[in-house]
Structures are given as structure tokens and as C-alpha cells.
Amino acid sequence: MQITDLLNEFYLASKISIFTYDINGKLISSFKHPLIPDFPNNLLAKIDFQIQAGKVNLFNTNQDECFSTLYLPQKQHHLIILWCSTQTIESLGNFRDNFPSVSLERLTHYTKILYFIFFKKLPDINAPKLINDKNLTNTNNKGKLNDIISEKQYHNNYQKEKLMLQSLSEGNLPAFQFWLTSFIKSGSFGQMALGNKLRNSKNLLIAATTVFTRAAIRGGMHPEAAFVLSDKCIQRIEKLGKIDNILELIQEIGELFVKRVRMAQNFSNSTIIFLIQDYIFKHLNETLRLENIADSLGYSKQYLCRVFKQDTGETIIYYANEQKIREVCNQLIFSNNNVTEIATKLGFCDQSYLTKLFVKHTSMTPIAFRKKYHM
């Protein structure tokens, strides 16, 4: 099993954000919720990348967050960081099991397990190092997700909601995560219950569950199965006595429905397909090269192309272009950027190539598409 496969499975089991870096401190891969930011540069600066393989360190900060570092022999994936930050996600944890946030003790146990997988023995771990600078994580306020709602003045973008729900109906988890994040950042959920924060949060979660249910049914999930899952989610929501972070709960519920749609449509749950799709959405604003995907995931280009085609019926390039065209549509409707600016922003070689691709996927030119929505 490749390191990326193993770490992805470890993340899915533990729900702890994982980052790998090479020996020079360059980020190689990350495994985390899309709503969680990258590992803070200020914390990264406290880490010594030259420590020998097999060493484990624990760190704790005054901001109620902790992380561990594990050094491997490889130049690529030289350093693995497991990060738990209550500054980033202040929530009840995984909606499905209601676990609390990962404590330093739990992080230590998970680190030991991961170390044993690589070195076939348990590590010697010293007491955690305390990072006293209280301003370290405050410079990364993008990670404080609850601020997203309070800073917005307008309701969330309807077009992005449609793309999010379409991705759910397709059983496409990376696309759902991408468009959910974009949807959340586009505005505010609004206020359903004045003067009662808990009731308002519950109402929003119930509304989200309802639209997820309908999208799942459109995607092939049996209606009765979808309604039963919806009932269970809503019953669980009503039992909550506190909701610190509505955003993560919305994502947890949405992903439950995405995975049920995948099962209903008999999709492959191959990790490699997920990783390819995840790479595409994380690099949507760049020129896609199969060689880069292969290097990032540690497989040959030929193998990735064959597996993706067998599983999805599409080539990687066609799938990536399809996602880019969706974003082009979004830019044409909701931005004032001209076609040349959009082409540059999304990594197209020139405007003419974008236009040719756009016509192929939508049967109209970008200019005609924009006029259709701006009439």
C-alpha cells in the first residue's frame, strides 16, 4: 500500500488532519476536511526538519491545540504532522459518533499507532513541548470557521448550492466537498429563529438535511432509505443540547448522503479514484498535467488513467475539464471577469482553447452563456 493510501485511510478512521512534508519543508500531501485550513506556517516554523528518522515529538499551545511530528526515512513524505486544533474546529466532533475533540492523550495514542505501522515498534515519546506564543494561531484567522457566518451579509449563492447538490446526486465526494466549501463562503445561511441561537442552528441543519435527502433520491438512493436516514439525522439534531459549529455538522450529514448514493449507484469506493478527484479539485486553478498527478500520488500515469477510466467511464482529462467548465460558468454568471481573465485564472493556455472547450461542453460560447444570464 502506498503512503498516501495508508494516510488517507488513517485520516478517515481518526478524523485527525494529517500533513506530509519533504525534507526541505515542502508540503507533499494533506488529508483533512475541506473546511479545515492548511497547517499554520507559524507553527511549521517551530519544527526542525533535519531530525533523524524515527523521532516523534508532541507539541501543545496556549490556544488549546496540539500536534505531533513523526519523521520517516524517505525524502518525500519525510515528515508527518497530525494536527488537532480546537481553534479551527470547535464542534462536537464527528456527527456520527459524537466524539469530543481529539485531546492530547488521544493524539498521542494515534501517533503511536501510526509510528508502529511504519517502524514495527512503539516510539519513545517525551513530554509535549509547549509553544507559549498566544499570537501564533491568531494570525491564521481564516481557520476560525464560525467567523464565516457572522462576516457575511448576503444569503449563500444559489448557483453554488445547485452545483453542491448536483455533486451529491452524482455521489462525487470530492466535488461535493469542493462546492460545499464554495457555497459556505459565498454568503450567510440567514436567520430562521430570532433570539434562539440553538433553535436557529437546528432549523438550518434540518433544512440542509431535507435538501440533501431530495438530492440523494435524485441520485438513485431509494426514497424510503433516504427518508429513514433523514429521520435519524433530524432526531439526532433535536437531541443536541449545544451546537458549537454548524458548518462541520452540515458537512458530516451531507457526506453521509453522498456515500449512500455511491452505494446505491454501485460506485467503486477505490481510494485512488477519490485521491485523483481530490487532486483535481485542489488544483482546479492550475494547468492539469497527468505527470503531476502521478508524481503526487505515487503511481504511474498509465495506471491512473486505466483505473479512472474503468471506474468512471471518463478519462482524467475529460473529467478535469468538465469541472473547470463548471467553474467557468460560475465565473461568467457571478463575476465581472472577461473570458481572457477567467482563462488565465483557471490555468487554460489561452482564451481560444477555453472557448473551444466551453462550446464542446455547453453547446454555446462563453459570451453567449453570459448574455443568457445577464439579460
Check residue 27 and give its pLDDT.
93
Q: Is the pLDDT of residue 45 over 70?
A: yes
Q: Is 205 within 8 Å of 239 (Cβ atoms)?
A: no
For residue 202, is pLDDT > 90?
yes
pLDDT the model gives residue 267: 62
The pLDDT assigned to 182 comes to 87
- The pLDDT, as a whole number, for residue 164 is 94
Q: What is the pLDDT of residue 302?
A: 94
pLDDT band at 291 (very low <50, low <70, confident <90, very high): very high
**Domain layout of the chain by residue ranges:** 3-144, 148-264, 271-374
Phi and psi, residue 89, nearest 5°? -125, 100
pLDDT band for position 93 (50/70/90)?
very low
305, pLDDT greater than 90: yes
DSSP code at position 32: S
- List the beta strands (DSSP E) in the chain: 17-21, 27-31, 56-61, 65-71, 79-85, 129-131
The gap between the terminal CA atoms of the chain, to the nearest Å, is 54
Cβ pair 212, 254 in contact under 8 A: yes
Query: What are the phi and psi torsion angles at 135 (to 5°)?
Result: -90, 0
Choose between 251 and 191: higher pLDDT.
251
Which of 124, 139, 181 has its CA nearest to residue 156?
181
Beta strands 129-131 and 65-71, pairing class: unpaired
pLDDT digits (tens, 9 = 90+) for 110-159: 999 999 999 999 988 877 887 765 444 444 444 444 444 444 457 888 88
CATH number 2.60.120.1440 given to 271-374: no
Q: Which residues pair with 17 in a beta bridge?
A: 83
Query: Stretch 321-332: mean pLDDT, rounded?
Result: 88
35, pLDDT greater than 80: no
Asked if pLDDT for residue 74 goes beyond 80, the answer is yes
Alpha-carbon distance of 179 to 327, in angstroms, equals 10
Geometric angle at alpha carbon 22, from 18 and 26, rounded to 5°? 85
Specify the amino acid at residue 277: Q
Point out the least confidently predicted range of 11-15, 135-139, 284-288: 135-139
Model confidence band, residue 107 (pLDDT cutoffs 50, 70, 90): confident
How far lies 253's CA from each of 205, 232, 259, in Å? 9, 11, 10
Per-residue model confidence (pLDDT) at position 88:
41
71 has pLDDT over 90:
yes
Q: Which residue has the cell 463562503?
A: 185
Average pLDDT over all residues of the chain: 83
- Out of 39-53, 74-88, 116-130, 187-201, pick the least confident: 74-88
The residue among 336, 335, 326, 332 whose CA lies nearest residue 357 is: 326
Whole-number pLDDT of residue 212? 96
Distances (CA, A) of 325 to 158, 173, 279, 330, 358: 18, 18, 17, 9, 6
Is the CATH number 3.30.450 carried by domain 3-144? yes
Check residue 354 and give its pLDDT.
Answer: 93
Q: Give the pTM.
A: 0.55
Strand pairing report for 65-71 and 56-61 = antiparallel
Per-residue pLDDT reduced to its tens digit, 226-269: 898 899 899 889 988 888 788 888 999 999 999 888 877 766 55
% of the chain beyond a pLDDT of 90: 35
pLDDT at 203: 94
More confident residue, 193 or 240: 240
Coil/strand/helix, residue 155? strand
